[in-house]
Amino acid sequence: MSLHRKDTDSAFEGAGSKAGLEIWCIENLRLVPVPKSSHGKFYTGNAYIVLKTVLPKTGPAQHDIHYWLGNDTNKVDSAFASDKALELDAALGSCTVQYRELQGLETGKFLSYFKPCIIPVEGLYSSHQGHLNGETYKFSLLTCKGDHVVHIKEVPFSRSSLNHNDVFILDTASKIFLFSGCNSSIQERAKALEVVQYIKENNHGGKCEVATIEDGKFVGDSDVGEFWSLFGGFAPIPRDSPSSVQKQSDTPSVKLFWITTQGKLCQTGTDSLNKKILETDKCYMLDCGTEIFVWMGRQTLISERKTSISATEDFLRTQGRSTGTHLTFLTEGLESNIFRSYFDNWPQKVEPKLYEEGREKVAAIFKQQGYEVKELPEEDCEPFINCRGTLKVWRVNADELSLLPVPEQTKFYSGDCYVVQFTYPGNERDENLFYAWIGRRSVMEDRRDAISHMTAIVDSTKGDPVLAQAVEDKEPIQFFLIFQTLIIFKGGMSKRYKKFIAEKGITDETYDGIKTALFRVQGTSPQNMQAIEVDLVSSSLNSSYCYILQTETFIFTWIGSLSSTRDHDLLDGMLELINPTLQPISVREGSEPDIFWNALGGKAEYPKAKEMKQCVEDPHLFTLNTTEGDFKVHSTFYIITSFFFCGQKLLQVKEIYNFSQDDLTTEDVLVLDCHREIYVWIGCHSNVGSKQQALTLGLKFLEMDVLVEGLSLETPIYIVTEGHEPPFFTRFFEWDPSKANMHGNSFERKLAILKGKPHNLEVPTRNSWKAYSRETTPNGLRSKSVISNGLGRSGSPASSVSGSNSKSSTNQLFSSPTPIVRKLFSGSPHGSADESSVSAGSPAAEPRSFSQSAGFIQADGSGDCVNLLIYPYEQLSVISSDPVAGIDVTKREAYLSDEDFQDKFGMTKRAFYELPKWRQNKLKTSLHLF
């Protein structure tokens, strides 16, 4: 539904045709465009219409409409703004989401348009002069709240306005003071510094001093004395009383109302909300406590929509609801993520955009009639890194890793799991990328060990490498690009897989190069092509692909009617790899001989429609925080979902809108949701203790499905650490390497920039997991990376880790990381599988040496371990009622006396530390010492 041009305000002419912001101010009941130079400057006596337009890579334009109401705006202008927002929505085809924004209570999305902040100006906007007549500079005291978007509020210039929880800015004629409450976070202080910079540039022409004042520090600082003198001298700030601290409420009850054409609210008589309740010719109000949604069906009239908005605003007034209650107006089909989250099993949008579907159908029709149609370029197929690096692949084989010879590195089995290391030349150093590949038919023990083995190797590798988890059929494009060609066979080679199918009586389908097999060929180029063995039945075919059918005596290539010339080229390339000896028989779909169908067990129905690719939306960035308690909240300013998590811990997820590199705060853990894969970014000063914990956080994020987009738990997860971001991550940002390598916490970094100090490019050293891998590992055990010669993929370096029998715990999310004994095994990439497989019991698997940074363990194989601190077992146990303090909790067993150790473990300490790490952890777990 849309309005005719004659019914639309002339001020909206051409609105929404270009990406970016468009703002109109209501002046004397008419819309006045606000010039870009005044964007972000809002007057408290006015109402504004703000249109945000995004033009994605694919799909139609996306629009958000916000109408902002100043504290001094009159009722007439407020109602006019509401009507004009609805009129603009209709002019844009009723395909927008509308928000009511109140001064001081704006949504995070709205504030993200005006970084670092908006500071409302008292008075009225004048379109003739662009500012308030007689406006003069004055002292002001502002509170700053928020870590990624900041709410600014002017408070009385009085000592009583200060407190210990917030950050304040005192703006004077000659100097700006930043006062940080002792309970404020580093992120809030850093964000406030951006506001200070904004005020300095806009109010002082960049020429004024800046002073930072810390709550509770007064001695010997002239800035502190000057600050308090402005308040008439220093006096202690009173502590907040318990009653003044707002207690987090439980999840409010959610109520759904049908809004009649007369504006009457009728509550629906159901406790369970389902999308089927919403009828397309009606309007509804969803009351969520701190936020209210008005849902408008596609078949409703403009008059009905206006009535529903008025009825909702009347409801807020008559119910005495908080002025901070947000109103969001949604049209059917454009429901926001948080709205959909209140409904049970909201159906996922799997259909492609209409124009894309039409384009694909037209192309398919032309192809079926024999016309060649030019293919559109594939998205996201650029490698972003040098894919001519060093590849190394291990197969998980029970408790060991088997290094694969180079010819076998590109042949995987669906019943197995693999650890992949790819070393490639970066800007200044070699970089490492690790994958744990999980076969679809692999056993659970192998899956767990693949993650454990990978994290163990990563911890012994220099330079904070990126690691990832990838499940068969869900691999990220980057995984295929580093292999270039990959064949995935059915069956498996690992001992556990063989044992599993034998116990279950399952026929072993492992490909042996002779038996009949059907392969689907896929990919985008010779540098990205795969052959996947599928079930040997006709229903496995698909008109969109090409296939290779191999039997003992002949080989067929089958060309689907909807496949492209590029697919045919890939088919020829994969045929050379699978079976270059037999002369292939090429058949096109529809002209297959009987022998072809007989090999597949007879002819059957298979998909013949063009496979539609889903429209990939732009990525979303979220912060992950842990807090105490057990509740679920939908926040006013952000999407926040919280749940009980690992010992009284709650995982809170907050979306950062219109994100940039500056939002990657060093104290935070963030998730970049790219829909097809996610990236967990770990700041150097975050409290995550290991990459395995980060991987667990990524899995929890997938479980939460914050965007209600139907994220699979098998979505690829990358773990990226600050200062070591790979190009395929940084491509989502306007990346400045100097910012990525600055030293200090976020406040110190922002302060250095504000005061014009040169950037410290020293990469900060983590105080968590890398402290163990770099400081406690002897230099002789460090893995060395190898630069490719650029002519092709080189063999695996012999000096790198070629096997690992150590495991990390997969269920100790917030426990301290356990130092891992590094093991280096000799092995040539060109040797046999037997030569490169190292078992736990072989002499090569024994640890050479290691040192414990706490200083109480020495184990070099020449003598017994020495421990000068002895405690009874009852105090060292993790379930102890009287636990000992001040010990290294990762080495509880080391504090036992030799007698107690022998009694509990049945062996000496020396014998214990010669065991593989996974064996040590298992024994400690059974004795409650891990």
Span 567-625, pLDDT tens digits: 999 999 999 888 888 889 999 999 999 999 999 999 999 999 887 766 677 899 999 98
Domain 873-927 class, CATH top level: mainly alpha
**Other C-beta atoms lying within 10 Å of the C-beta of residue 709:** 14
pLDDT at position 670 is 96
Q: What is the DSSP string of 391-454?
A: EEEEEEETTEEEEPPGGGTTEEETT-EEEEEEEEE-SSSEEEEEEEEE-TT--HHHHHHHHHHH
Buried residues in 231-265 as b, exposed as e (16+ CB within 10 A): beeeeebeeeeeeeeeeeeeeeeebbbbbeeebeb
**pLDDT-flagged residues of the chain (< 70):** 1-6, 128-137, 218-220, 240-252, 349-381, 613-615, 627-649, 757-868, 918
C-alpha distances (whole Å) from 621 to each of 197, 365, 681, 711, 882 are 25, 40, 10, 15, 43
pLDDT at position 236 is 85
Residue 782 CA to residue 798 CA, distance in Å, equals 12
Residue 241 CA to residue 245 CA, distance in Å, equals 7
Residue 463 CA to residue 770 CA, distance in Å, equals 9
User: In CATH, which of 3.40.390.10, 3.30.70.100, 3.50.50.60, 3.40.20.10 is domain 390-462+469-600?
Assistant: 3.40.20.10
What three-state secondary structure class fits 878?
coil
CATH code given to domain 620-755: 3.40.20.10
**Token pair recorded at residue 502:** 């034998």
How many angstroms from the chain centroid is the CA of residue 757? 32
pLDDT at position 769 is 35
Residue 508 CA to residue 784 CA, distance in Å, equals 39
pLDDT at position 899 is 87
Instruction: Give the E-state strand segments of 91-237 in sequence order.
Output: 96-102, 140-145, 151-155, 167-171, 175-180, 209-214
Contact 760, 743 (CB under 8 A): yes
The pairs formed by 704-707 with CB atoms below 8 angstroms and a separation of 24 or more are 704/641, 704/643, 704/651, 704/653, 706/337, 706/622, 706/639, 706/641, 706/653, 706/655, 706/673, 707/337, 707/620, 707/673
Question: Going by CATH, does the domain composed of 255-342 fall within 3.40.20.10?
Answer: yes
Contact 646, 629 (CB under 8 A): no
Q: Nearest CA to 97 among 338, 354, 345, 350?
A: 338
Question: Radius of gyration of the chain from Cα atoms?
Answer: 32
**Residue for token digits 């979505």?**
715
Residue 842 CA to residue 495 CA, distance in Å, equals 18
- Partners of 865 in beta bridges: none
The residues spanned by each domain of the chain are 10-113, 140-231, 255-342, 390-462+469-600, 620-755, 873-927
Residue 748 CA to residue 43 CA, distance in Å, equals 33
Task: Count the helices and strands in the chain (H runs, E runs).
Answer: 22, 35
Residue 587 CA to residue 582 CA, distance in Å, equals 15
CA torsion 172-173-178-179 (nearest 10°) is -30
87: left (phi over 0), alpha (psi -120 to 50) or beta: alpha
pLDDT at position 363 is 52
pLDDT at position 251 is 52
How many angstroms from the chain centroid is the CA of residue 699? 10
pLDDT at position 243 is 41
Identity of the amino acid at 464 = D
Q: What is the pTM of this model?
A: 0.77
What three-state secondary structure class fits 678?
strand
Contact 102, 339 (CB under 8 A): no
User: In CATH, which of 3.40.50.300, 3.60.21.10, 3.90.1150.10, 3.40.20.10 is domain 10-113?
Assistant: 3.40.20.10
- Partners of 807 in beta bridges: none
Contact 130, 25 (CB under 8 A): no
Identity of the amino acid at 904 = K
Buried residues in 323-358 as b, exposed as e (16+ CB within 10 A): eebbbbbbbbebbbebbbbebeebeeeeebbeebee
Residue 825 CA to residue 843 CA, distance in Å, equals 10
Do 873-927 and 10-113 have the same topology in CATH?
no
pLDDT at position 627 is 64
**Other C-beta atoms lying within 10 Å of the C-beta of residue 117:** 20
pLDDT at position 790 is 33
Residue 872 CA to residue 280 CA, distance in Å, equals 70
Q: Write down the CATH superfamily of domain 140-231.
A: Severin (3.40.20.10)
How many angstroms from the chain centroid is the CA of residue 404? 32
Q: Which are the contacts of 540, defined by CB distance < 8 A and separation ≥ 6?
A: 518, 520, 534, 600, 606
The pairs formed by 745-752 with CB atoms below 8 angstroms and a separation of 24 or more are 745/186, 745/190, 745/666, 745/667, 745/685, 746/186, 746/187, 746/190, 746/665, 746/666, 746/667, 746/685, 747/186, 747/189, 747/190, 747/193, 749/190, 749/666, 750/190, 750/193, 750/194, 751/193, 751/212
